[in-house]
Amino acid sequence: MLTPLPSHGFRAAMVTGLLLVLTTGCTRKDDFAEQLKRGDEAVATNRYDDAEKIFMDALVLRQTDPQVIGRMGILYYNQGQIARGYAFLEEAVKGAPNNADFQLHYALACYSVGKTIDARKSAQKALEQRPKDEVALLLLAETCVSTRDNEETRRIIEDLRTQNGEAAGYYLALGALRRMQRDYAAAEKELDAALALNPQLSAAHDQMGMLYAAQGDNAKAAVSLKTAAQLAPPRATVRLRYVNHLIRTDAREEAKKEIASILAQAPDCIPALILEAKLAADERRLTDAATSARKVIDRDRTHYEALTLLAAVKFQEGDFEGGIARLKEAEEHHPRAPQIKMQLAAAHLKKGERLAAEDYLKKTLLVAPNHAEATQALAELQLQKGDAIAAAAQLEPLVKARSGGRRTLVLYAQACFDKGDEKQGLTILRSLVAQAATDPDNHYLLGRALLGRDRPAARQAIETTVRLADKHWSAQEILVDFDLNENRTNEAASRIAALIEKYPGDPAPLLLRARIRIYADDLNGAEADLLKALELDPSLHHAYYELARIYFVSSRSPEALEKLTASAAQSNTPRAYTQLGMLQTALGKNNDARKSYEQALALDRDFPPALNNLAMLLSKTPEDLEQAAKLARRAHERLPADPHITDTLGWILFRQGQHAAALPYFRSAAEKRPADAEIQHHLAMTLYCLEQEEPARLILQRLVSAKAEAALVADAHQRLAVLAIDPERPAPGAKDELQRWLGQDATDPVVLARLGVIEAREGDPKKAAELLESALKSNPRSVSALLALLDLYAGPLANPGRAQELAKAASSTPPADSRIPPRLGRYALRSGDFAWAASLLQDAARQAPDDMDLRIDHARALYGSGRVKDAESTLAEVLKGNPSSVTREAARRMSRMLSVVDRREELPAARVEADQVLSSDPSDLAALMIVAADSERLEKYREAERIYGEILARLPGFAPAIRKLALLQADFLGDDKQAEELAQKARRAYPDDPELSRALGSISYRRGDYQAAVNTLRQSWRQREDPQTAFLLGVALFGLKNTSESRTFLERALQLKLPAQETTEAERILREIRGNRSGF
């Protein structure tokens, strides 16, 4: 196989650009032919650096000569500088299309950068000159991508064989073709025939090695690939393939020897240097890896793999800033390489910079819209921050295309659950079980989803999980939880005892048995299990916590404290001091506990349990929260998979008021410990505070039904009661209950928001605003508080500045909430921001297609932004639907007013209806526009101007009034300056309006700018033929001395019946034109 080298972000190096870099000061006078000869000799002896200099000198003498350009291309290709080689060879084959060497290497370069069709064409051109060339024949086979290609290749080979006789290359190509079709027996027969004709044919041994590897016979593959490598020159691809085979089969030392052999003969061989760097990086020989990668960069500073390898080395060294800098450098050279952007996203995510990670994932999708991994990663981030609607929308194309495999469906199911579509979520998970019934994770996901929904079905799914994979400890924990809740303690103990016997070196079943024993009040047995688990893994934070609880509740605290103090002093280990600190914490001896944890960290500054526990201890004091967060992050960096450490970091962020930042950590911990009531409670509290009420309610209900600690159950009951209160329709006593709960927690954002909405409904806007502002302080993303405050400040409290701030905050607040578009859209409509209102109300109408009042508001926004036809269409949809009688009448009236505002003959009747509307609603825009238009009809131009002006004073962006006032000024009131300003502004909403074009043209004409007038008036004429436009075009063209066209337009204007004054002027100009012609 002619394996293509990476072509991510390929950017061909321009030959002329390279000349500027490499030929400065060149003064060689050697004969051109002699230089080519000397360069060829240098290549033949592997002196590529010397060859490059010689060829560059020749290139200075003949900068467009294909012979030297082609040689440079071959040199660069063989070095592994594929992009540069491709650029030179592309130029060479244009100047020397019959040069077989150039065509062959151009074909190889095309194949390496993914241009398969071009590679195939050039291989065929090479075969025209060299019909038995093994490399060209093999490339012809390798570029087959369809059955048609296969048949064409066979036909070409048979034709060549007929014309030129037998050759090993023909059998080689047919063998490669058969191998790719997985017809291994036929492939081996063809390759045997090739080797019979030429036993020293390296490519045949190489193909045979790949054939054996494809059949799983690595030993035979190694023999054939080694033979191929021994027969090949140092830079040959087959030698690199042998190295890769050695690496895949864990023969690393042999691989290193082979790489060293290649580099001894060709120290500038870039692919070999890359393999050397990768091996060193895998073995954490980071200095060696960086050295090899830099050797590549010294030759090709844009090399994709070298740059990304250097970044990987920086990351392994813990230098995230350096790694990101290297990746950004790679991105500059390869701006369309999606994998670089993916690596940048992963790096920022590792640093906890989720916004930057999300930004790079979006950039990935800009260059690769169908990139499944980027789509999944972005959806996962959106789910973690609670934006289930956006995540579902992100994943839907992959789901429909059945792309991205199982992970796509798992994420989509989670998005469905989070946005309240439980039925769809369960359907997806059940389909996964049906598709892969032997995959334990599919049953586990279904079982976890059914918790709190259908316990018998959940248990059945979890039992299936552990039957398929008894080391699935998360499932085993849930099953233990089921057993304890169903009083099946003996059954749970028996099952876990068998697992302890089966897996004696794993602490997980010991922790589960400790839990069972604690439940059964066998504290001594539980203690023994926990101590044994800590012997197996001293970093188990949960084991320390349970031991401390045992000592505390068993009244053995003094004895245990004395014992642990002595043990810590004697052993002087981080584990002993951490265990002591846990007990001291349980006893309320926080200062002593802090000293113990600090002593543990003095012995091992990165001991995760001590970092975690000290962080939790410090988090109890507000002034220590920042320090606690730093410690928790360090613990999480050391053990990112530990759910308890992850939960601690989430809890500290929650305590800091960073609910959205805490959510992904709680989600991660809860997924790993679905039966841990405390972790599940933390997740529920965060969802509750972020107003993700349905998922919060589900977890809280599960906590209430489980045998969790009394304090957790009591809190779950209270939060469920809060969520049950509908502030828009509060039950009697609801307000008193909320006030009582507020006395217990004055910062609860959900209680504050509900109380605020109730106070606003009861007519106390100031008190409501105070409560809602407090809710917003506790949770800046509270949609309930934002929208209620927006209504208050835009309404009774009359604070437009604060309303605008809240509107901006609401528009950028994730997660996507169906309450935002209609409320924000109506605010924008009232504020006169019609384009924004139209966008928001369109989204709102899409989410609530049966809300006809919402559709009428959408029509008003469309009308205000100048989209009159869209407004009329929307109103027509309302009238076709099933609106209430009041809504139907409102839609009918608005539809009629919009349709007649430019129809002079229908204005009198419309005026009567408009006056009736204005008697009840003096601010109705459609009615005001009718009155103003009718004033124009009655030639009451100043009255019309006043009405348009009043509308625009209230709503400066109202496009229909801007348009009408522009036309009024241009045609009747004579203020050309204002008319032009208004007309230009109106054209943003009405870019194709012929009346505005005519008005602007007439202004230009009156100003004496005939060319501008003609340009604008032509636009109007193309859109609508009317006498005034034809007249103005005629006189403007006459001013430009274009009498032929002037005459055409003036005659057409007369045919269309001009007013008297314009008719007189048109006839005068026509007489002058005819007189000039006759006089000529």
- What pLDDT, on a 0 to 100 scale, did the predictor assign at position 34? 87
Question: Percent of the chain, pLDDT > 70?
Answer: 96
Q: Give pLDDT, residue 1076.
A: 57
Q: Is the dihedral of CA 296, 302, 308, 314 positive or negative?
A: positive
Q: Mark 72-88 as b/e (b = at least 16 C-beta within 10 Å).
A: bbbbbbbbbbbbbbbbb
Enter the DSSP assignment of 729. S
In whole angstroms, what is the distance from residue 516 CA to residue 495 CA? Answer: 11
Model confidence at 428, pLDDT cuts 50, 70, 90, reads very high
Rounded CA-CA distance 67/935 in Å is: 83
CB 206 within 8 A of CB 241: yes
Q: Please check the confidence at residue 430 and state whether its pLDDT lies above 90.
A: yes
The CATH number of domain 131-220 is 2.60.40.10: no
Q: How confident is the model at residue 863 (pLDDT cuts 50, 70, 90)?
A: confident
- Nearest C-alpha neighbor of 139 from the set 165, 173, 109: 173
Average pLDDT over residues 123-134: 93
pLDDT tens-digit readout, 442-454: 999 999 999 878 8
For residue 970, give the DSSP letter: I
The DSSP call for residue 249 is T
Alpha helices in 520-618, H assignment, sequence order: 523-536, 541-553, 557-571, 574-586, 590-603, 608-618
With a pLDDT cut of 90, the percent of the chain lying above it is 53
Q: What is the pLDDT of residues 30-65, one digit of tens each?
A: 478 888 899 999 988 888 889 889 998 888 888 889
Q: Fold match between 12-22+31-115 and 998-1080?
A: yes
Q: Across all residues in the chain, what is the average pLDDT?
A: 88
Residue 8: band (very low, low, confident or very high) from pLDDT cuts 50, 70, 90 = very low
Is pLDDT at 1078 greater than 50 in this prediction?
no
State the Cα–Cα distance between residues 121 and 965, nearest whole angstrom: 66
Residue 286 has pLDDT above 80, yes or no: yes
The owner of tokens 């960069």 is: 297
pLDDT surpassing 90 at residue 426: yes
Give the domain ranges of the chain.
12-22+31-115, 131-220, 592-654, 677-720, 725-817, 998-1080
Distance of CA 131 to the CA centre of its chain: 50
Find where tokens 């000397």 sit. 38
Please state which of the four CATH numbers 3.40.50.620, 1.25.40.10, 3.80.30.20, 3.10.129.10 is assigned to the domain occupying 12-22+31-115: 1.25.40.10
**CA 1001/CA 1063 separation, integer angstroms:** 19
What is residue 816's predicted lDDT score, i.e. its pLDDT? Answer: 59
Q: What value does the mean pLDDT take over residues 841-850?
A: 86
Say whether pLDDT at 401 is over 90: no
pLDDT for 706 beyond 80: no
pLDDT at 503 over 60: yes
Give the mean model confidence (pLDDT) for residues 262-286.
Answer: 91
The per-residue pLDDT for 150 is 85
Structure token pair of residue 851: 């809300």
Q: In the prediction, which pLDDT does 971 show?
A: 86
Residue 622 has pLDDT above 80, yes or no: yes
Answer whether 1056's CB lies under 8 Å from 1030's CB. yes
| pLDDT level of residue 220 (50, 70, 90 thresholds) | very high
Specify the pLDDT at position 858: 93
User: In the block, which residue shows the tokens 């979006």?
Assistant: 362
If DSSP codes are grouped into helix, strand and coil, which group holds residue 62? coil
Output the pLDDT for position 27: 41
Mean pLDDT of 514-534: 92
Per-residue pLDDT band for 18 (boundaries 50, 70, 90) equals: very low
**Which tens digit of pLDDT belongs to each residue from 710-760?**
888 999 999 999 999 999 899 989 999 999 999 988 989 999 999 999 999
Q: Is the dihedral of CA 109, 115, 118, 121 positive or negative?
A: positive
CB atoms within 10 A of CB 925: 19
Record: fold of 998-1080: 1.25.40
CATH class label, 725-817: mainly alpha
At residue 756, the 3 state secondary structure works out as helix
- Give the C-alpha separation, 912 to 777, whole Å: 52
Q: Region 511-535: what's the mean pLDDT?
A: 92
**CB-based contacts of 413, cutoff 8 Å, min separation 6:** 424, 425, 426, 428, 429, 432, 445, 449
In a 3-state reduction of DSSP, which class is residue 884?
Answer: coil
pLDDT grade for 171, boundaries at 50, 70 and 90: very high
Q: What is the pLDDT of residues 1006-1027, one digit of tens each?
A: 888 889 989 999 988 988 888 9
Q: Are 437 and 687 in contact (CB under 8 A)?
A: no
Q: Span 140-157, mean pLDDT?
A: 86
Specify the amino acid at residue 269: C
For Cα atoms 457, 462, 466, give the angle at the middle one, nearest 5 degrees: 150
Contact 222, 209 (CB under 8 A): yes
Please, which pLDDT band fits residue 461 given cuts at 50, 70 and 90? very high
Q: How confident is the model at residue 16 (pLDDT cuts 50, 70, 90)?
A: very low
**Helix (H, G, I), strand (E, B), or coil: what is residue 505?**
coil
3-state DSSP assignment of residue 972: helix
